[in-house]
Structure 1
Amino acid sequence: MPGNRPITLRDLLTFRMGFGQIMGPPDALPIQKAVRERQIMSLGPPKPPTPHAPDEWIRRFATLPLMYQPGERWMYNTGSYVLGVLIERASGQPLEAFFRERIFEPLGMKDTGFSVPAEKLDRLATSYWPNAETGALEIHDGVADSQWSRPPAFPDGGAGLVSTIDDYLAFGQMMLDKGKHGRERILWRPSVEVMTTDHLTPEQKAVSGFLPGYWDSRGWGFGVSIVTRRDDVAAVPGRFGWDGGYGTSWYSDPREDMVAILMTQRAGFPLFSRVYLDFWTSVYQAIDD
């Protein structure tokens, strides 16, 4: 079936391009097999994410049909992959070089990138992953043989950066300050405001599968989740950020004027862990009246 309209930049930013990860068994649908055969998307913590350079990745991706019409529903997180390729082509420079020039260096994020230099590898933490059958933690990514010990073939616009708590805090504080870092403006204030506004309609949320009940109290901006309804002590409306698949959790809260970041060594979305719940509950319990 032909698309009812072209995919827009806003569709990519809001994950409404009509293609994304399917949360379920990896072989349930033919499109999942086609994705795996083309090696363009990971179905779990990527190692490696994809062996293809950006131009080859987008060529392979373009051979697939959309799963849904553009704008019909939210789907995680292929829009960011496409955005990364688009940024490279629009800027005329590699994605990491663009990030470094526009974001990392202005924010003083000296330890953030798609790989770790050899002289800094001793600071890289081992990543663990629970065994699907036993639940026991096993090494997913070591240090000496880490996938971050060398630049990736595909710098991913949606994942794959390695960083530190100080660097991540600099980014989260800039977002909390509506694009400013000290006296320097990194992003235009209205841009941050639109980035952190819920763009999903009730109709889109109703058909956008993710975690059970997730959209009852969450929305989606440009690459960040936004709390829309208070259903627990830490769910403050307007709080924005994301929980990463390698065990990180970041949120900036304009109402409380606060940035909080959790970094763990356990791969897998931290939403499912007791550590995540205890951390965020403790953060908000510590706030003075």
Structure 2
Amino acid sequence: MKINSLFFGIALFGIISCTSTPPAELVITDSARARLDSTLQAMVAEGWVAGASALIYENGTEAYFNATGFADREAKVPMDRNTLAIIYSMTKPITGVALMTLYEKGAFQLDDPLEKYAPEFSNMKVFVGVDSLTGELKFEPLARPITIRDITRHTAGFPVNPNQPGLGDLLKEANAGNPANTLTQMAEKMGQTPLAFQPGTQWAYGPSVDVQAFLVERLSGQPYGEYVRQHVLDPLGMSETRYFVTESDRDRLSAMYRKGEDGQLTQVPDSLAHAFNTQEWPMTPGGYGLTSTLDDYMKFTQMLVNGGTFNGVTILKPETVQLMATNQLDDSVTERMFLPSKGNVGFGIDFAVRVAPTSSPDENMGMVGEFFWDGAASTLFWVDPENKLTAVLFVQIMPFAGQVHKSFRDAVYGPYQNPNN
């Protein structure tokens, strides 16, 4: 196992490797399984989560599975392999893959202006403040248009803070993200709302991937929900991954929990937690909204670690997956919101990408070249090409619980070891 590799010339998908032979030493050993069992059980016993489940594949075969605790603690429904979890932003990489199927067809180039295909984003301006004397909002023209690359790496400049003086009121008034909007209506409202910063100058997590879903719809001439189903989900056999959960399957939908300041878990009423997924809305967002099972999402990760192919079905070319898993952020982009909390990472096309080894015991363990993302309810997946390993962790806890991910990663790879010792 090549922990903390110093070489960024990773053998991604066997493309740039001199050999496609997997590492001789496995990551998921008996010791790792014991660590994982203990970690998942401790998460529940210590009240971090009500329930947890994890699935890991290594070299194309199942290396680990466990589920512990409750999908619904109050109803005593155990966490299970077929529990449906709300994956929130783990929807985003699926949308990115859908978009890149159109890239492979020559429908666009990454540095094309977004407005070339979506005039809704023409003639935009950037908010620069509020006049201290008159109270009027101040704007400046765009230094350059938003590009498609910007919406794949969160550098477009779309505002996200409803409490920002001046701009926040415009953001709330537009209400572009209301699920009662269609994707086209969302785009129209976003295009009429000033940007928070010049495109390409900052990394700010926001609605960019919803714009990707809109772009898929615009370029393909097909509703986004239908396109992603036809070109990604169905070919991979991901029948459990969906926005709308039918009544017959809702008994498998995990409850949602919120941890209070006192450290206690409180169940969020299902009427709130499941409101999006138990009703069919006009919007099919690219950035959130899907539910899935461990095995369904694992099919997606296996497609990625195999360079775009799973069970004989090719979704993307290996070079396209490699492009998505390559850092797209220039060093000049120093404002990166919460991204540094994920470790020594950059950002590719809808994935965080590890660019340097784990450098301290406090940092998440990971492999150089891995790519990953997570969800608001603290779900997590990653793809480790060097070890041909993919991992999916399901919990349903808010606010986002970074310590859950740290503990899980430590259990997989073992505790941090200083390479200088």
Fold agreement, TM-score > 0.5: yes
Q: Note the 1:64-143 alignment, pairs <5 A.
A: 64-131=193-260, 133-140=261-268, 142=270
What is the deviation of 1:61?
1.2
Q: Note the 1:97-246 alignment, pairs <5 A.
A: 97-131=226-260, 133-140=261-268, 142=270, 146-147=274-275, 148-204=277-333, 206-210=334-338, 213-214=340-341, 217-231=344-358, 232=363, 234-246=365-377
Q: Is the 8 A contact 1:225 1:240 kept in 2?
A: yes
Write the letter of the residue equivalent to 1:60: K
Write the letter of the residue equivalent to 1:220: F
Mapped partners of 2:207, 2:271: distance in 1: 28
The equivalent residue for 2:190 is 61
What is the deviation of 1:15?
1.3
Mapped partners of 1:107, 1:33: distance in 2: 42
Q: Is the 8 A contact 1:20 1:76 kept in 2?
A: no
Q: Secondary structure at the match of 1:51?
A: coil
Mapped partners of 2:409, 2:250: distance in 1: 30
Q: Is the 8 A contact 1:172 1:251 kept in 2?
A: yes
Mapped partners of 1:62, 1:262: distance in 2: 36
Mapped partners of 1:149, 1:253: distance in 2: 34
What is the deviation of 1:137?
2.5
Q: Secondary structure at the match of 2:257?
A: strand
Q: Is the 8 A contact 2:176 2:185 kept in 1?
A: no
What is the deviation of 1:75?
1.3
> Given the superposition, is the C-alpha separation of residues 141 and 116 from structure 1 closer, same or farther in structure 2, using an over 3 Å criterion?
farther
> Given the superposition, is the C-alpha separation of residues 247 and 233 from structure 1 closer, same or farther in structure 2, using an over 3 Å criterion?
closer
**Stretches of structure 1 lacking an aligned partner (at least 5 in a row):** 42-48
Q: Is the 8 A contact 1:243 1:269 kept in 2?
A: no
Deviations 1:136-171 (A, max 9, x none): 333335179822111233211111111110111000
The equivalent residue for 1:251 is 382
Instruction: Please say which of residues 182-191 and 232-241 is displaced more in the overlay.
Output: 232-241
Q: Secondary structure at the match of 2:332?
A: helix
Instruction: Please say which of residues 137-146 and 114-123 is displaced more in the overlay.
Output: 137-146
What is the deviation of 1:217?
0.8
Mapped partners of 1:191, 1:20: distance in 2: 29
Mapped partners of 1:19, 1:144: distance in 2: 27
Identity %: 29
Does structure 1 residue 29 correspond to structure 2 residue 169? no
Q: Is the 8 A contact 2:236 2:313 kept in 1?
A: no
Q: Secondary structure at the match of 1:17?
A: coil
> Given the superposition, is the C-alpha separation of residues 233 and 60 from structure 1 closer, same or farther in structure 2, using an over 3 Å criterion?
closer
**Stretches of structure 2 lacking an aligned partner (at least 5 in a row):** 1-139, 416-421
The root-mean-square deviation of aligned C-alpha atoms, in Å, is 2.2
The equivalent residue for 1:17 is 156
Query: Runs in 1 of length 4+ with deviation above 4 angstroms?
Result: none
Mapped partners of 2:269, 2:328: distance in 1: 35
Write the letter of the residue equivalent to 2:394: M
Q: Is the 8 A contact 1:96 1:155 kept in 2?
A: yes
What is the deviation of 1:233?
6.9
> Given the superposition, is the C-alpha separation of residues 105 and 143 from structure 1 closer, same or farther in structure 2, using an over 3 Å criterion?
farther
What is the deviation of 1:94?
1.7
Q: Is the 8 A contact 1:229 1:235 kept in 2?
A: no
> Given the superposition, is the C-alpha separation of residues 240 and 17 from structure 1 closer, same or farther in structure 2, using an over 3 Å criterion?
same
What is the deviation of 1:51?
2.8
Higher CA-based Rg: 2
Write the letter of the residue equivalent to 1:76: Y
Write the letter of the residue equivalent to 1:64: T
What is the deviation of 1:77?
2.6
Deviations 1:230-274 (A, max 9, x none): 225722111111021122000010111100111002133332x3x
Quick check: which one's strand share is greater? Answer: 2
The equivalent residue for 2:62 is none
Deviations 1:34-81 (A, max 9, x none): 22232234xxxxxxx533222221121111111111211211132111
Instruction: Please say which of residues 27-36 and 142-151 is displaced more in the overlay.
Output: 142-151
> Given the superposition, is the C-alpha separation of residues 245 and 120 from structure 1 closer, same or farther in structure 2, using an over 3 Å criterion?
same
**TM-score scaled by length of structure 2:** 0.61
Q: Is the 8 A contact 1:121 1:144 kept in 2?
A: no
Size of the alignment, in residue pairs?
Answer: 271
The equivalent residue for 2:142 is 3
